Structure 1
Amino acid sequence: MATHDINLNDDINNFKHEAAHAERSRLHLAALKGDWNSIEDMPNIQREITKKRETTLHIAAAANHEEFVKNLVEGMSSDDITAENTVGSTALAYAAATGNVNIAKAMLKKNTDLPNLGSGMKPLFMAALLEHYQMVEHLSRSTKTWEWDIGDQTELFVTYARVGYYGKALEMMKANSNLATAKNRFNDTALHVLARKHSAFVSGSQQGILRRHINSWMKLKQDSKQIQAHELVKEICVRAYKYDVESLSENQELSQSLFVAAEVGNVEFLIELIRFDLELALKTDQTNRSIFHIAVKERHESIFNLLHEIGSFKDLIVENITNGGNNMLHLAAKLAPQHKLNAISGAALQLQQELLWFKEVEKVVKSSLKEMKNEAGETPYVLLATMHEELRKDGESWMRNTANSSMVVATLICSIIFAGQPTDGIKHSSENSNLELAFSVSSAIALFCSSTSLIMFLSILTSRYSYNDFLVSLPIKLMIGVASLFISIASMIVAFCASFNLKYHNHQGFPLMAVVFGIFSCVPILYVLLKYRLLFDIVRSTCFSSSLFKPRHRLLY
C-alpha cells in the first residue's frame, strides 16, 4: 500500500513538472512571437521561464514586441518589474539593447528607479555600448551615474568617447574630473580612444583630395559633434595634465596618445595636443621616431605638413636617425602601407604617389642625409629602387595594357571618320547647311582627337618606364590620351547623328528610325561611362596630388 502511495506521488510530481514546463514553453514562445492573445488568460504570466532566470518580460523586451510589453507591464507591480536574471540584468537592460524607447518608457512609468537597479550591466551602459543614442538620451535623465563605483563610471565614460557621444562624456567629466585619467578594463583612457578616432574630427588624413579642396574653398563649419570632440580633448588635457605641463614634468599618457594619433593620421587631435604642450612636437618614441617620421612612414601628408610650421625645430627633427640607421628619406623610400596603395587606382598611379612623397621629403632633408647609408648599407635612393621595383613592373604592365586597349578604340574611330562620306547623293541646300557644318566640324574634331590619342598611346608604349617617367611624363601622356579618346567618341556620335539626319530626315519612317538610332548610339557612350573613373583618377593624381603638400593656411598657430 505504501509503495502504491509513493508511486502515485511521483506520478503527481512528474505531472506537475511537465505542466509547469509546458506553461513556460508556451509563455516563452508567445513572448518571442509577441502573441499576447494566446496567453492573456494564463495566471502568473510574469515568471521565470528560462534556465538563466529570464522572465517573460525579459524575453518580450529582447524580442522588441512593444504592445506585448505594454500589456504585460500594465498588470505588474513596481517590484515585479525589477526581476533580474542570473547575471543581474533587469528587463530594462534588454529593452536598452533593442533601442526601443517606447518599451523603456512603459517600464519606467511603472518604476522610475529601474535604470539604477540590477547588479549586472546597467541599461544606460548597454544602450551606449550598442550606440542607441535616443535610448541613451532618455535613460541618462533618470540614471544616477554619480552613485556608480569609479570602475563602472570609467567604462561608461570611455564608451561614450568610443561611440561618439562626446557631449555625454563632457557632462560626466565635469561631474568627476578623475575620469580624465581613468582607464577601462582594456587599459584605455578616453584620450587614447579619441586618438584612434580620426573620424571624430573635421579634416583628418583620410579625406579625399577633392574633398579637402572643397572644404577649404567653402570653409565648411564643424558640426556640433565635432566641436564637442575638440572640447572633450581640451577638457581632458586641462583637467588631467595641466600640472605636468606647467611643472615641466614628463607624462607618458600624453606621449602615448600622441604617437597613436600619428599612426592613424588624426591630425586634428595632434594639433590640439601640440597647442596644449608645444614640446610634444619634438617628442620621439622608443625607436627615436617623431610624429613626422611616423607620418612619412604611414603616408599622412596632413601631419607631415605641420613640419613647416614649427620653425627652426624642423631641422632638428629631420636629423633624427631611427632604429636601423634610417633617416626620414629612408622611410619615404619604403613602400607605403597596403591600405594606402589600395586607395589609388592602378599600379602606375600608386608609384606616382610614392615618388611624389619621396620628392617632398627630399626637399626638407639635408644633402648629407640624402647619401647616408642605413645599417643595411643602403642609401635612400637604393632603397627606393629596391622596395618599388615590383610596383614599377606592375605599373609598366598596367600602362601598356591601358594604352593597348585604348589604342584599338582610337584606331577604329580614326578609320571610321576618315572613310566616312555622308554627303554622297545628297543635294546641298541652305536648309542643310547647319547640319553639314556640324558634321564637318565634329568629324574634324573626332579625327584630330583620335589621332592625338593614338600618338599619346604610342608614346607610352615606347617609353623607357624609368621612375622619373612615372612621376610626370607617363601620367600626363595617359591623361591626354584618354581625354582625347573620350572627346573623339563624343564627336563621332555627333558626326554620325548629323550624317543620319542629312540622309534620312525626309524619309517616311524617320521618327521610328531616330528612336532606334538613339538607343544604339548609347553603346559608345557606355564605354565612356565605364572608363570615366580612369580619367578622373589620372587627373586627380596628376593635377591635385602635389598640392597636398602645399596647405592653404597654417594649422598649428
Structure 2
Amino acid sequence: MMAEEVGFDMGILYKAISENNWPAVKEFIDHHPRALNHELVASTGETPLHVAVKFGHLSMVEELVRFVAPEYLEKVDAHGYTPLGIAASHRGIIPIAKCLVDKNSGLLDIRNGNLKLIPVTLAFRVGLIEMGRYLYSVTPLDVFIRKNDPMGPSFLRGCFVTGDLDIALDLLQKCEELIFAADYGYSTIEHIAFYLSDSLNKRQLRFWKQWVYHYIKIPSTTATNNFCVDMQQEGEMNNKAKGVNLLQWLISLPYNLSGMKEIYNLKLQHTRATEILNVACKNLTFLSEDKTHMIAKALLTAAKLGNAEFFSKVSTANPELISMVTFSQQKGHAFFNAVEYRQAEIFNLLRGFHFRNVVAAMFTEDNNNLLHMAAKLAPASQLNRIPGAALQMQREWQWFKAVENVVNPGIELRLNKEGLTPLDYFKKNHKELRDEGEKWMKDTASSCSIVGALIVTIMFAAAFTVPGGNDQTSGYPVFLKEKLFKVFLISDALSMFASTTSVLTFLGILTSRYAEEDFLYSLPTKLIIGLSALFLSIATMLIAFSATIIIMLEHNSSRLWAFLPVIMLASVPLTLFVLLQFPLLVEIISSTYGPDIFKKKVKKWP
C-alpha cells in the first residue's frame, strides 16, 4: 500500500470498494480528494475505478464515474488495461461497459494488454460473447479499417473462432476492404479458409436430420441495430421474464432434446459462412500480386482442410486463381495437398478438373507424383476417425486405388528420390499400420472364435439333452408335439450351424496372408461373415434357452410369473452384444460395401 507516500491509507479505500460500500468510499474521497488519482495497489497500478470494475460493482462504478473527468477513464493499470478493457475481458457485465462508454466513447479505440487489442476484440477472445456484441454495436467502423492496422482482421478472426458469423458478415458487408487486410501475417481470406472450414462443409447427417436440414429456412442477415443491447429495456424485462422462463424452458425442451436445435444451428452457421464467402468472392478480380499470393495461400489451406466449397467458389469467381496452386511448383500443389491430407471432397474436384491429366503428370521436388502422395501415411487426425487399424489400412488402400485410377498410365512405375515406386513407397510407409491391422484382426478373430466354439459345444450337447427328456417307451422327446419344442429345435440347429460358420470364418482370418490388398475386400468380408454368424448364433441360442424355460414352466401355473423375467434376462447378453459389437459390424459393412467416399459422377470444371 502507498500510505507513506500519499499521507493516507489506501487500504481503507480498497476495502470499501471491494465491499461495495459507497458511503464509506464517498466519505474517504471527501476527506482525501487526491485518492481518486492514486494507485490503490502499487503492484497492479489499479485506480479506484479499475478496482470497482474488477469486482463488478455497477452502482460503485456509476458513482465513481460521476466524480471524474472523461480522460480519467483512459488510465491504464500495470498490465495496460483501461477500466473498459477489464470490463470487456474479466467481468462481462454489460451495464458497467455501457456506463463507461457513455462517459467516454474514446475508450472503444484504446488498445489493451500485451496484445494491444481494442475492447470488442478482447471480449470475443475471452468468450464473453454478449459483451462483445454490445461493444460491436457502439464501436465506430473506422476503428476496424485503418490502413496497416490489424484490428479489423483480428476482430474478424475472433468472430470466426467463437462462431459469431452474423457479426463478421455485417462488418465485411460494410467494409469489404477487410477481405485482404492482414492480422500478423494472415489475411482475412486465409482466416475464412481456415476457421470456416467446418461451417462451409455440409456435415453428413442421418436421413431424417438431412431432411430437416434441407427444409429449414434461415432468415436474412440480422440488421446491425439488432446487435445493440438496450440495457434499460433489458432491466425492465428481466422482472417480467422470471415468471415465463420456466414455461419457455418446458416448451423448448422437446425441441432441444430431439436435436432440432443442433440441426438449426448447423444450417445457420453454414448459411452465414456461405454469405461471408460470397462477399469475399465479389472481390477476387483485378488483384495485385500481394492479394494473389494471399489467395494462393488460402486455396492451399482449403485443400489441406477439405474446404471444398471455398475451393470451388473461389475458383469459379476467378478461374485464373486455380492455376496458381495447380501448375506452379513455387506456390504449391493444391491437389497434391488434398491427396496427402486425405480430403476426399477436394480430390473429387480434381477428378472433374478439365486439366486433370496435366496435374496427374506433375511431381514435387522429391520426384513424388500424385500416386506417391497417396502412398504416404495419412495424418493421425484422419486415421483416428476410423475404428481399428484394419479398417484404417483398408481406407488407405482405397485412397491408393482411387488415385491410381486418376493418374496417367505409367505413373505407377515412376521412381521418387528414394528410388521407390508408389507401391513400394506405400508398403514402406504403411508397414507399421499393416502390422497393427494384422494384430487387430487376429485378436478380434481369436476372441470371437472362442465364443463361437463355446456356443458350438453347448448347442451340440443341447440337441441330445432335450428339455423334458425322452419317452422311456418310444425314445422320442416328451415334448415333441409342443410348438415351443419345435422352436427350440430350429433355434438350436441354427445356433450350432451359425457358430460353426463363424468359427471356420475366424479360422480363415487367422490363417490369411495379410498382404496390403487383402485389407480392401478379403479380410473385411471374412470379418463381416464371422461377426454376422456369431450374432445370429447368440440370438438363436438365447431363443432356444428361453423356449426351454417356458416349456419346463408352462405346465406349472404357479410358476408362470417367471416367464417375463427369464425372457428379459435372456435379452441382456444379446443387447450387450448389439451395443458393443454391432456398431463395428455396421462400420465394416459401410466401409467395404457402402457408399464410396469418392463420387462416381463428377461435374466438369472450370
Where on the TM-score scale, by shorter chain, does this alignment land: which range?
A: 0.7 to 0.9
Q: TM-score, with normalisation over the residues of structure 1?
A: 0.83
Q: Number of residue pairs matched?
A: 525
| 2:66 aligned partner, one-letter code | S
- Deviation (angstroms), 1:473: 0.7
Q: CA RMSD in A?
A: 3.5
Contact 2:352–2:603 (CA<8 Å) still a contact in 1?
yes
Equivalent residue number for residue 5 of structure 1: none
Aligned residue runs from structure 1 range 155-554, under 5 A: 155-184=154-183, 186-203=184-201, 207=203, 215=210, 219=214, 223-239=267-283, 241-244=284-287, 251-282=292-323, 283-284=325-326, 286=329, 289-311=332-354, 313-420=355-462, 421-425=465-469, 428=479, 432-433=482-483, 435-505=484-554, 506=556, 508-511=558-561, 515=565, 518-519=568-569, 522-523=572-573, 525-544=575-594, 547-550=596-599, 554=603
Contact 1:198–1:265 (CA<8 Å) still a contact in 2?
no
Farther off after superposition, 112-121 or 289-298:
112-121
| 1:195 aligned partner, one-letter code | A
Farther off after superposition, 456-465 or 521-530:
521-530
Tell me which of 139, 143, 146 is aligned to 1:143: 139
Farther off after superposition, 387-396 or 440-449:
440-449
| 2:386 aligned partner, one-letter code | I
**Structure 1 pair 138/16, CA: closer, same or farther in 2 (3 Å)?**
closer
Structure 1: segments with no counterpart, 5+ residues: 1-12
Equivalent residue number for residue 36 of structure 1: 20
Farther off after superposition, 497-506 or 395-404:
497-506
Q: Deviations over 1:257-290 (max 9, x none)?
A: 1111112221111112111122333334546752
- Deviation (angstroms), 1:381: 1.7
Separation of aligned partners in 1, 2:452 and 2:23:
77
**Structure 1 pair 117/197, CA: closer, same or farther in 2 (3 Å)?**
closer
| 1:297 aligned partner, one-letter code | E
**Structure 1 pair 118/352, CA: closer, same or farther in 2 (3 Å)?**
closer
Equivalent residue number for residue 10 of structure 1: none
**Structure 1 pair 78/298, CA: closer, same or farther in 2 (3 Å)?**
farther
Farther off after superposition, 468-477 or 505-514:
505-514
Separation of aligned partners in 1, 2:362 and 2:207:
30
**Structure 1 pair 70/381, CA: closer, same or farther in 2 (3 Å)?**
same
Separation of aligned partners in 2, 1:443 and 1:427:
17
**Structure 1 pair 75/244, CA: closer, same or farther in 2 (3 Å)?**
closer
- Deviation (angstroms), 1:461: 1.3
Q: Deviations over 1:508-535 (max 9, x none)?
A: 3553685377447524532442223322
Secondary structure of the equivalent of 1:191?
Answer: helix
Contact 2:213–2:267 (CA<8 Å) still a contact in 1?
no
Farther off after superposition, 345-354 or 523-532:
523-532
- Deviation (angstroms), 1:20: 1.4
Secondary structure of the equivalent of 2:182?
Answer: coil
| 1:223 aligned partner, one-letter code | K
Separation of aligned partners in 1, 2:604 and 2:409:
28
**Structure 1 pair 477/264, CA: closer, same or farther in 2 (3 Å)?**
same
Separation of aligned partners in 2, 1:551 and 1:509:
61
**Structure 1 pair 483/214, CA: closer, same or farther in 2 (3 Å)?**
farther
Separation of aligned partners in 2, 1:495 and 1:98:
66
| 2:81 aligned partner, one-letter code | S
| 2:199 aligned partner, one-letter code | F
Contact 2:455–2:495 (CA<8 Å) still a contact in 1?
yes
Secondary structure of the equivalent of 1:324?
Answer: coil
Q: Deviations over 1:316-375 (max 9, x none)?
A: 111112111111111111211222222222221111111111111111112221211122
| 1:498 aligned partner, one-letter code | A
Separation of aligned partners in 1, 2:399 and 2:196:
22
Separation of aligned partners in 2, 1:525 and 1:137:
49
Tell me which of 77, 85, 88 is aligned to 2:76: 85
| 1:440 aligned partner, one-letter code | L
**Structure 1 pair 197/94, CA: closer, same or farther in 2 (3 Å)?**
same
| 1:156 aligned partner, one-letter code | F
Contact 1:183–1:189 (CA<8 Å) still a contact in 2?
yes
Separation of aligned partners in 1, 2:408 and 2:301:
28
Q: TM-score, with normalisation over the residues of structure 2?
A: 0.77
Separation of aligned partners in 2, 1:492 and 1:140:
66
Equivalent residue number for residue 50 of structure 2: 58
**Structure 1 pair 476/290, CA: closer, same or farther in 2 (3 Å)?**
same
**Structure 1 pair 528/60, CA: closer, same or farther in 2 (3 Å)?**
farther
Q: Deviations over 1:289-326 (max 9, x none)?
A: 52111111111111000012223x11111111211111
- Deviation (angstroms), 1:89: 3.2
| 2:491 aligned partner, one-letter code | S
Equivalent residue number for residue 9 of structure 1: none
Structure 2: segments with no counterpart, 5+ residues: 30-34, 217-265, 470-476
- Deviation (angstroms), 1:548: 0.8
Secondary structure of the equivalent of 2:286?
Answer: helix
Contact 1:197–1:266 (CA<8 Å) still a contact in 2?
no
**Structure 1 pair 322/106, CA: closer, same or farther in 2 (3 Å)?**
closer
| 1:316 aligned partner, one-letter code | V
Farther off after superposition, 417-426 or 514-523:
514-523
**Structure 1 pair 95/14, CA: closer, same or farther in 2 (3 Å)?**
closer
| 2:132 aligned partner, one-letter code | V
- Deviation (angstroms), 1:156: 2.2
**Structure 1 pair 515/55, CA: closer, same or farther in 2 (3 Å)?**
farther
Identity %: 29
Contact 2:166–2:272 (CA<8 Å) still a contact in 1?
yes
| 1:533 aligned partner, one-letter code | P
